[in-house]
Structure 1
Amino acid sequence: MLRRYRSNPSHIVPVEEIEVRPDLTFEEESVQILDRDIKVLRRKIVPLVKVLWRNHDTEEATWESEDLICQQYSCVTKT
């Protein structure tokens, strides 16, 4: 059974400012590459990187194509 929530001042979570555009979108910024992996498909090999994004926890990091990340953020060296 659910119980009624009783407010507690210690439960307030601090919120960072996010710049929101007039069309209610915002730009994500990558902070760090956490891991690298290679996905092997039938006829293709896809290099992937696990990216940590600003304003997100490490649990919310996403796997992105290494080529896409390098295009957006102009990678100097590619492994």
Structure 2
Amino acid sequence: MKTAQSRQRNYADKWHRDLEFAVGDHVFVKVASMKGVMRFGKKGKLCPRFIGPFKIPERVGTLAYRVALQPNLVGVHNVFYVLILWKYMSNPSHVLNYEPLQLTSNLSFEERPT
């Protein structure tokens, strides 16, 4: 039994990544897709996996962070577990253009090409 536990611990430690963010960092939030549910304008294969970047104003506990979401995402809880966040590496060539979103009651919106 001890050998099996040791083997499992070694396997888990290989894939474990220690994540820690500082206040003021920018992160992407991972969006989980559900079958048949339209999230952020798309469903299926073209559904976005991450949204953002958003700024971290404070740390809540040891493994959770409060994220400063856009005002139009008021229906989404703003505290996220560390594994749902992905660090944003800023690049001057990235052009981030926010447009106001009109969310429906099921937290979806209609996306129009620009």
Q: Normalising by structure 2, report the TM-score.
A: 0.23
Q: Which has the higher contact order (CA 8 A, sep 6+)?
A: 2
TM-score by length of 1: 0.29
